[in-house]
Chain A
Amino acid sequence: MVECLKNENVQIAFGYPGAAICPFLDCLYRSPIRHVLVREEQNAAHEASGYARASGKPGVCIATSGPGATNMITGIATAYMDSVPLIAITGQVSSELLGRDVFQEADITGACEPFTKHSYLVKDAAELPRVFKEAFHIASTGRPGPVLIDVPVDIQASEIPEFIYPQRAEIIGYKPRTQGHAMQIKKALAAIREAKRPILVCGGGVVLAGARDELVAFAEKSGIPVVSTMMGIGVVPMDSRLYLGMIGMHGHQNANRAVGEADLIILCGARVGDRAVSAPEQMAAKAKIIHIDIDPAEIGKNMTAHIPIVGDIRLVLRDFAGQADVSVPQEWIDTVLRYKAEYKPGGEPDNESGFVEPRSFMRSLSAMMEENAILTADVGQNQIWAARNFNVKEGRFLTSGGLGTMGYALPAAIGAKLAKPHRQVLCICGDGSFQMAMCELGTVCQYGVPIKIILMQNDRLGMVREIQDNKFGGRHMLTLLEGNPDFVKLAEAYGIRCALASSNAEAEKLAREMLQSDQAYILVCRVDPDAPTI
C-alpha cells in the first residue's frame, strides 16, 4: 500500500491511528511519505481536502476501522459534494471476522456509498496495486471525488509474491468524456452570436478543470459579462471590469439582477444548486441555457438545458475561444455596468461601537493580503461575509459550498498551507464553527503550521439566529453560545499567538501584525451579535 502511494507520488497523508490500521502505518513509518496526526478523523478528510484543492493532487486521509472510519464520513461527504479528489484509506477488522460485529467493526464501504465516487473493500492483497491505481485514476479524472479503500488488517499484513504497479487503470465502465461535441459547440456559438444579453456563470467546475485562464480569455475576447457561484469565486478577480459578483441567495444583487435579465446563460461547471439558483425553471423559461459540464448527470438535473455540452470546461472554452467572433451589444454592457455601479457593499466601520464590523473588515483585510493568498471560510455568516467582500485575486477561496460543513475552514487551511507553504493561508471562522474544529490547534502546534485565523466572535450561531429573528419571532433556540471560552487564553494554552480586536481600526492594525508574523496567529474579532449577513 505504501509502495502504491509512492508510485502515485504521494508526499503527505493525514490520519489518526488505531489497531486495525497499524500494519500499514508501520510501513508508512519507514517510508519518505510525511504523515500528519490530526486530532479527529473528520479533520483528516478536511485537511486532505484543503491539500488537494491547493495542490491539485488527490489528498490522502487515513483512519482506523469502526469509529475512526465513521468519524471520517462527514469529511468524505464534504469532499464529495464539492468534487474534491480524495483517497480515504480505512483499516478494517480481519477479513475472516467480517460481518460478525466484532470490536470496532463498521461497514464503511456500505455507509459511504452515497458519498463516494467509488469504494473498495479489498479481500485479496494481490489486488491492492490494481485497486490503488484505479482509485487514484477515478478520484482525479472526470468529475473528481473521494474514493474509499477499506483494507482488513490481515490483508495489510500479508505478503504478495511480486509487486507490480500497473501503468494504467483499465476500467471498462469508466471513460469520462473530455472533448465537447463539435456540433454542440457550433450550436452554442451560434446562440452566443445571436444573443442580445448573454452572461457567463462560472462554477466550481472551472476551478477543478484548471480553466481559469481559458474562462478569463474567453470572457475578455467576447466581452460577455461574468458572474460566479460561491464555488466559482476566485476564477475572475472581483475588480475585473465585467465581473459582476456572486449569484444566489446570499449573492450580490447586481449579479442576480443581470442573470435575471439575461437572454442567454452559459453555465460553466455550475450544477445549479438551490443556493445559487432558487427557481431554475423560471430562469430557463426566460433565457436560453447553454450548460457545459464534465458530468452528464448534472445537465438537465436541476435546470433544463437547451444546448448541453458534456466535456472538460478547459477544452470546451478553448474550442469556444478559437471561434469566438462575438460582439456583445453595447447596450447590455452598459446595463450591467450600471447595475454594478449602483451596487454599494454593505457595512461601514464604527469605531465607537466596541465591535469589528465584519463586512468592511473583510474588504480591508483582502487589500492587505498577497495576490495569491489562499482563503478558507467556514460555514455561516462568516462564509458569506468573506464570499461577498473578500477579493480573491490570484489565490483561492476554499469553503464547504455543497454540504455546508461547519468546522471545515481550520483543517482545510492546515492542508492548504502544507501544500503551499510559501503562500499566505488565511482561515475565516465564526465562534461556532471554530469550536467544531478547534482540537486541530494541536495539529497546528505539532507541525508548526503558520496559518492565520480570523475568529469572528459574536457569541451566536449567527446565521440561524438571523433565520430565527426573521421567521421564528426572534425566539433564539440553541443559537446563543453562552459557554464560550476566553479564546485568547485558549490560544495561549496552546502557545499560539492571539490578539483581540473590538474595532475595525484595531483589527486592521492587528491583522498587519498577524500577517508579518511567521507563526500561527489567531485574531479574535468581537462582532455585534445582531450584525446582518448581507
Chain B
Amino acid sequence: MKYTLSVLVENQPGVLSKVSGLFSRRGFNIDSLAVGITEDPAISRITIVVNGDEYIVEQVEKQLNKLIPVIKVKVLEPGRFISCELSLIKVNCNTKQRAEIMKIAELMQAQIVDVATTSLTLRLCDNDERTQTLISLVKPYGIKEIVRAGTLAIEKGAITAKKQPS
C-alpha cells in the first residue's frame, strides 16, 4: 500500500541527505519525494510517498522523528488530502498525429507547452492515477522522455500539518 507523509524540516544544508540516507539505510522504498519551502522560510516541507505496510510506515515515521532537523512527521489519512504531481511528457509526433494528441491533451486537461516538427511536450498537473492514464494514452505515439516532480499533498479542510483544528 502507498502512504503519503508530510514532513516539516528545518531549512538547513544536509537535511535532504539525512532524510534520503535514512530510507536507503533502513531498506524503505520511496515512490517519490518532493521538497520545497513553506510559508515560513526557515522551514521546508518534504512530501514522501512510501510503499509498504503498516509496520514500515510506523518505522519510517519514528526513524524520521529521530532526525534532529525533522520538526514534524504526519502520515496523511487516505481520502483526507488532495495530492497532485507535475509531469512533463515529450511524445513523438508528426504533423498528421498532432491533432489527435492535442485532443487527448484536451480530454485529460494537459497543456501543450512545446511543439516541434517531430515532437510535442505535454504538461499535466494531476494525481498519480490520471497521470498514468495520460501516459498510457500517448504511449502508442512513442514517448521520448518523461519528467515527473513527485507528489505534493495538502490536507482537506482547515487542518494543517503543523496543527490540528481546535
Contacts and interface: CB of A to CB of B under 8 A. Distances in A.
Contacts of A110: 17
A297 B59 contact: yes
A459 B21 CA distance: 41
A113 B21 contact: yes
Contacts of B96: none
A138 interface: yes
Interface string A301-337: 1000000000000000000000000000000000000
B69 to A, nearest CB: 6
A121 B17 CA distance: 14
B59 A301 contact: yes
Nearest to A299: B62
A110 to B, nearest CB: 7
Interface stretch (A89-97, A157-165, A171-179, A478-486): A171-179
B66 A114 contact: no
A347 to B, nearest CB: 41
The 9 A-B pairs with the shortest beta carbon distances in the complex, nearest first, are A297-B62, A173-B71, A118-B68, A173-B70, A113-B21, A174-B68, A114-B25, A172-B71, A296-B62
B111 interface: no
Contacts, number: 37
Contacts of B18: 113
Interface in A111-125: 113-114, 117-118, 121
A483 to B, nearest CB: 37
Interface string B1-28: 0000000011001100110010001000
A280 interface: no
B45 to A, nearest CB: 13
A172 B62 CA distance: 17
Nearest to A143: B66
Contact of B58 (A114, A138, A174, A300): A300
Given A114-B25, A172-B71, A296 B14 contact: no
B21 A114 contact: yes
A297 B65 contact: yes
B118 interface: no
Given A110-B17, A296-B62, A173 B25 contact: no
Contact of A138 (B21, B55, B62, B68): B68
A296 B71 contact: no
Contact of A297 (B13, B66, B71): B66
Given A114-B21, A301-B59, A173 B68 contact: yes
Interface in A270-304: 295-297, 300-301
A171 B13 CA distance: 16
Nearest to A297: B62
Contacts of B133: none
Contacts of A138: 68
8 contacts: A109-B14, A118-B68, A121-B14, A172-B10, A173-B68, A295-B66, A297-B59, A297-B66
Nearest to B66: A297
A172 B72 CA distance: 9
Contact of A173 (B17, B55, B69): B69
Interface in B59-79: 59, 62-63, 65-72
B37 to A, nearest CB: 16
Interface in A100-139: 109-110, 113-114, 117-118, 121, 138
A172 B70 CA distance: 9
Interface residues of B, number: 21
> Which of A110, A138, A297, A300 has the largest number of chain B CB atoms within 10 A?
A297
B67 to A, nearest CB: 8
Interface of A: 109-110, 113-114, 117-118, 121, 138, 171-174, 295-297, 300-301
A173 B7 CA distance: 11
A300 B66 CA distance: 15
Contacts of B69: 173
Interface string B104-125: 0000000000000000000000
A44 B62 CA distance: 32
A370 B68 CA distance: 41
A297 B59 CA distance: 7
B14 A173 contact: no
Contacts of A109: 14
Given A121-B14, A172-B71, 15 more contacts: A110-B17, A113-B17, A113-B21, A114-B25, A138-B68, A172-B10, A173-B68, A173-B71, A173-B72, A174-B68, A296-B62, A297-B59, A297-B66, A300-B59, A301-B62
B5 to A, nearest CB: 15
A297 B14 CA distance: 22
A145 to B, nearest CB: 10
A110 B15 CA distance: 11
Nearest to B73: A173
> Which of B13, B14, B72 has the largest number of chain A CB atoms within 10 A?
B14
Contacts of A173: 9-10, 67-72
A297 B10 contact: no
B68 A117 contact: yes
A320 B150 CA distance: 48
Nearest to B62: A297
Given A114-B21, A172-B10, A297 B68 contact: no
Contact of A171 (B55, B59, B68): B68
Contacts of A295: 66
Contacts of B66: 295, 297
A297 B61 CA distance: 9
Contacts of B72: 173
